[in-house]
């Protein structure tokens, strides 16, 4: 192997910078939740409780009927909550990943 070929083969290549973000932070957020074609205004409050996250999720047309579960998923978060959507006569549990 020639010296030039050796250099091309063994020269270290630059590496991608490491991801140092910490994921979701406690705080208040405003946005919308999309379920099918419906866009539902949402406000989310996340609070640290020990080593867990808890939250509140007021929605403009859905009624959250039970506890909201908040957990980190990579750099985002997952929300898990039971709901009642009177306008569409449906209810269930929704898992949203943000």
Q: What is the Cα Rg of the chain in Å? A: 22
The residue assigned the tokens 């406690």 is 26
Whether 9 is covered by a domain: the verdict is no
Whether 13 is covered by a domain: the verdict is no
Rounded to two decimals, what is the model's pTM? 0.60
Instruction: Please name which of 58, 53, 57 lies closest in space to residue 73, comparing C-alpha atoms.
Output: 53
Whether 14 is covered by a domain: the verdict is no
Whether 30 is covered by a domain: the verdict is yes
Domain that holds residue 79: 24-97
Q: Quickly count: other Cβ atoms within 10 Å of residue 91's Cβ.
A: 13
Instruction: Please name which of 76, 75, 43, 80 lies closest in space to residue 59, comparing C-alpha atoms.
Output: 43
**40-90 residue pLDDT tens:** 888 888 888 877 778 888 888 888 888 888 887 777 778 888 888 888 888
């Amino acid at each position: 192997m020639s010296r030039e070929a050796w250099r091309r083969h063994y020269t270290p290549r630059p590496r991608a910078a490491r991801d140092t973000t910490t994921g979701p932070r406690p705080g208040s957020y405003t946005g919308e939740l999309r379920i099918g074609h419906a866009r539902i205004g949402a406000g989310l409050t996340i609070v640290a409780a020990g080593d867990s996250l808890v939250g509140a999720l007021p929605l403009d047309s859905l009624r959250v009927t039970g506890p909201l579960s908040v957990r980190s998923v990579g750099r985002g978060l997952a929300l898990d909550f039971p709901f009642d959507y009177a306008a569409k006569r449906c209810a269930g549990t929704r898992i949203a990943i943000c």
